[in-house]
Structure 1
Amino acid sequence: MTVTRMLCLLTCCLALAAFEAPARDYRFADAHVHYLDFFQESEGMDALFAAMDAAGVEHVMLSGIPVAKKWHEDEPKRPRYYAGDDAGAYWYSATDVFVAAAVKALPADRRRRMHPFLTGFNPADKNADAHIRRMLELDPGLWQGIGEVFTRHDDLTALTYGDVPRANNEALRRVYHLAAEYDLPVLLHANITSKRERNPLYLPEIEEALRNHPHVRFIWAHAGTSMEIHRHQEKLEFLRPTLARLLEDYPNLYIDLSWTVLRPYLLDAKGRPDPRWVELVERYPERFMLGSDVVGSFGSLGELIHDFRPFLDALPAPVARRVARDNFLAILPARGSADQR
């Protein structure tokens, strides 16, 4: 057999082995699930667990929605989403009561898979920390984080009654001190820019929070992106280098890679992983986590989580396992993560 034929045969064998290699069997933790929608309604726990079990999702972060959408007197049809019409939204604290009741009604084996976060407060109200403290004392040991905290949030910001919350305002500074006291991570929605500015317009707000509260573990929802931003700006070219700098400068920053980050950042138009993002996650293997960001209905949870598989497969297997599951559990307070390993 000639050398050329031997090389061809070896190449074919390697290609066949790669093709036949078994797919990685991931176990997932979903770091971004809303049990309720913008009308404070839900498909319920049975539907959520059915979606989780079908998708191999072992654990979820679970929160309500901190605002309720108003059905305005002049609107003939109830909107289906906060952006369905021009009616406003208002801060709604009972969302946490609904989540707590649903979680406490679960049997022990299911309850261990739920990691509830408090979200029912106005982030522009300096009474917010007092309210959160009361909720923590009302159900000791139940709550494992704070958020999703809505600050800069596309059109929802304009629709919500009251002052515009900022990630670095006085009310949230008080909340961050409380989070540090109780060792609670904070899931923060803070858009990095507006719909039309092609620069990190609002970055100083979240960077000040990171810098001034080093003992708080911040999870940045969607890495500061949103679908509404992408409708006006297909891709934020500054996002990846900005994240690289922030991750280097602030060890208390974690990134929620929920659906608005998947495309056009992690995967290109043909579904191929971007090697620059692969390298970034490899550089900070403990700082990224996945989230579906489903809102009150759970049929799409599995699809949204499994869409990340091509990106996970591009990572070294130990890093992929961390991103898929372990990083979220590791960020929880000790009582929420110790028995989940």
Structure 2
Amino acid sequence: MPVFRSSLMLAALLLACASEARDYRYSDSHLHYVDFFQESAGMDELLAAMEASRVDHVMISGIPVAKKWHEDEPKRPRYYAGDDASAYWYSATDVLVAAAVKQLPAEQRQRFHPFLSGFNPNDKNADAHIRRMLELDPGLWQGIGEVFTRHDDLTSLTEGDTPRANNEAMTRVYHLAAEYDLPVMLHSNVTSKRERNPLYLHEIEEPLRNHPHVRFIWAHAGTSMEIHRHQERLDFLLPILTRLLEDYPNLYIDLSWTMLRPYLLDERGKADRKWLDLVIKYPDRFMIGSDLVGRFDSLGEQIRAFDPFLDALPEPVARKVARDNFLGVLPRKVREARDGSRAAASSCHKAVMPLS
């Protein structure tokens, strides 16, 4: 019996040590520098939150729409759904992001990966606007998005036609993304608030099929908190993602907050076995993000909420999902420059090592 008890104690100790060893470094694959009023807590707060939360890299974008404070509204709204006033497409959001990133010192700037978002996805001039922005700041922009297409009540509040991921204007954007080797992050709801079927699946699947040279990041895998308020869980989501990931190697999944529950973790906070199996099967295709909007003090809380799911994955896969997969989807030039910098730093370190 003492031997048996000692073995149990040793096993428990080893498990505890293994758990403690899971000290992740993160990439936040989905963060908005400004809110729906194009306001921000600023880069100092964001940097402090990153340091405190072990977040090494951030996808940083604006918000492509601005919420109107309408003449008939007595109180300034706090969010796009705060009242019935509309929202409108707002291109200056990218100027705000660019200014914030460019004022950083070089060693900090390498941690930020700006994505262009300030364009109307219904306008066939959008690709020309994006090209101008790319030429205005060569080398700054590393992706396109988050593009707002189907997006709950925001779709009906935004002035103009309903944007779709498979319309002609976005087709032109995808061709430009392929030309510049830029990933595209799309918010494209897979269904409406009440339909219990993948009503809008074709809107995301057509671009995946027609643009195999574009890397698509599907924000929240087509889900949203508003959908979940009306139907708690989309039972068809897992089978759909399983098929799409098999059929389209250019698809990547952003697991930011609306995916955490009710999909990745159950009500007890335990990782869902079927979702674990899917991530293990496609270990390079999933990434995590906070989806914070202009305020960053909860960054650590949002990112570390994924730890129970990460801890249930094999450690190499968990580290990919936590940090590396987002970096892997960036343009080749960005990846090569980062790898070159790491190699140079390693060579420098070896050169100054004392001789034995």
User: Would you say same fold, with TM above 0.5?
Assistant: yes
Q: Following the alignment from structure 2 to structure 1, what is the Cα–Cα distance between the partners of residues 303 and 22?
A: 14
CA contact (8 A) 1:29 1:290 kept: yes
The Cα shift of 1:97 comes to 0.8
Give 5+ residue unaligned stretches, structure 1: none
Matched residue SS, 2:255: strand
User: 327, 330, 333: which one pairs with 2:331?
Assistant: 333
Q: In structure 2, what is the Cα distance between the partners aligned to 1:169 and 1:115?
A: 27
- State the 1:82 CA deviation: 0.2
Match of 2:232 in 1: 234
User: Which residue number in structure 2 is paired with residue 83 of structure 1?
Assistant: 81
CA displacement at 1:301 relative to structure 2? 1.1
Structure 2 letter corresponding to 1:204: H
**Is 2:16 the counterpart of 1:19?**
yes
1:7 counterpart (4, 8, 26) = 4
Shift of 1:340: 3.6
Distance 1:130 1:243 in 2: 32
Q: 1: distance between equivalents of 2:328 and 2:16?
A: 34
**For residues 340 and 52 of structure 1, what CA distance do their matches in structure 2 show?**
19
Which residue of the partner structure matches residue 26 of structure 2? 28
TM-score normalised by length of structure 1 = 0.97
Within-5 A mapping of 1:201-216: 201-216=199-214
Corresponding residue for residue 250 of structure 2: 252
Matched to 1:218, the amino acid is: F
- Picking from 114, 117, 120, the partner of 1:119 is 117
Within 5 Å, give how 1:135-146 maps onto structure 2. Answer: 135-146=133-144
- CA displacement, residues 240-262 of structure 1 (integer Å, 9 cap, x when unaligned): 11101000000000000100000
Q: More deviation in 9-18 or 61-70?
A: 9-18
CA drift at 1:334: 2.0
Q: 1:319 to 1:238 in 2, by over 3 A?
A: same
Return the match for 1:152 from 150, 153, 159. Answer: 150
- Secondary structure at 2:266's aligned position in 1? coil
The structural deviation recorded for 1:20 is 4.2
User: 2:60 — aligned with what?
Assistant: 62
Aligned residues: 338
C-alpha offsets along residues 218-246 of structure 1, whole Å, 9 cap, x if unaligned?
00000100000000010011111110100
SS at match of 2:97: helix
Q: Tell me the SS of whatever aligns to 1:41.
A: coil
Residues 63 and 117, structure 1, Cα contact 8 Å, conserved in 2 = yes
* 8 Å Cα contact 1:292-1:305 kept in structure 2: yes
| Separation (CA, whole Å) in 1 of partners of 2:146 and 2:204 | 14
TM-score w.r.t. length of structure 2:
0.93
Aligned residue for 1:51, secondary structure, equals: helix
The separation in 2 between residues aligned to 1:287 and 1:68, in whole angstroms, is 31
Task: Provide the C-alpha distance between the structure 1 equivalents of 2:303 and 2:337, rounded to a whole number of angstroms.
Answer: 23
User: 1:146 aligns to what SS in structure 2?
Assistant: strand
